[in-house]
Chains A and B, each alone.
Chain A
């Protein structure tokens, strides 16, 4: 079975802190994605990566950056967390040539 793991299920951070959300997949997938989910807005794509060291902006990249130094790991970075970044963050991966995305369990981030 494909497994996508995220470093924390729940995280509480203070305004202005630098926050790292980690995502690891164990199936050698080329493509990885970060979404945020907010009530009434569905899932919105923040960034995605189709190869090591490659990244592309999604629909809402402002305030975020990403890092993909190894194929299995895709990190989302909040350089200076703000309260409007309080949300559920979902990571996903997808193999090349397939359309199905496999999701991690999500990280619920609260910024106070």
Chain B
């Protein structure tokens, strides 16, 4: 069965520092995709970044980059130059495909706190 593991319940960082949020995954599929979502205290889920298993380059979106290490089955999110507004819960997710369609399975999340 597919599985997403986020081992850091909470992370603390100061403004302008870089931070890495860990994510490891387990799948027997050759084709898969990995996502990161941000959930501020208001509750909405905000899509940050996507990495396909066949993508040769690590995905980047502004201050977000995904450090994809296929052999180690890890897909860590790197946030450069943290801002106060980055304080939120972050979820790693993987798309899971069965005969009926495709859904996402999520990790348990990491709470990031950015201080000034």
Known: A88-B43, A103-B44, A105-B43. A42 touches B108 (CB 8 A): yes
Contact of B91 among A43, A45, A56, A92 (CB under 8 A): A43
A62 within 8 A of B: no
Which residues of A have CB within 8 Å of B50? Answer: 99-100
- As a 0/1 sequence over residues 90 to 116 of chain B, the CB contacts with chain A under 8 angstroms (1 = contact) are 010101000011111111110000000
B45 within 8 A of A: yes
Interface of B is mostly: strand
A112 within 8 A of B: no
A12 within 8 A of B: no
The answer on a CB contact under 8 Å between B47 and A100 is yes
- Distance (whole angstroms) from the CB of B19 to the closest CB of chain A: 20
Q: Which B residue sits closest to A94, measured CB to CB?
A: B102
Range, interface on chain B: 20 to 34
Interface of A is mostly: strand
Interface residues of B (CB under 8 A from A): 4, 6, 9, 33, 35, 37, 42-45, 47, 50, 91, 93, 95, 100-109
Interface residues of A (CB under 8 A from B): 31, 33, 35, 40-45, 48, 50, 56, 58-59, 88, 90, 92, 94, 99-106, 108
Other A-B pairs, 9, CB within 8 Å; known A48-B100, A90-B45: A42-B4, A42-B108, A58-B103, A59-B105, A94-B102, A100-B50, A101-B104, A105-B43, A106-B44
25 contacts between A and B (CB under 8 A): A33-B103, A33-B104, A40-B9, A41-B108, A42-B4, A42-B106, A42-B109, A43-B104, A45-B103, A45-B104, A45-B105, A48-B101, A50-B100, A50-B101, A92-B45, A99-B50, A99-B102, A101-B47, A101-B104, A102-B47, A103-B37, A103-B45, A105-B44, A106-B44, A108-B43
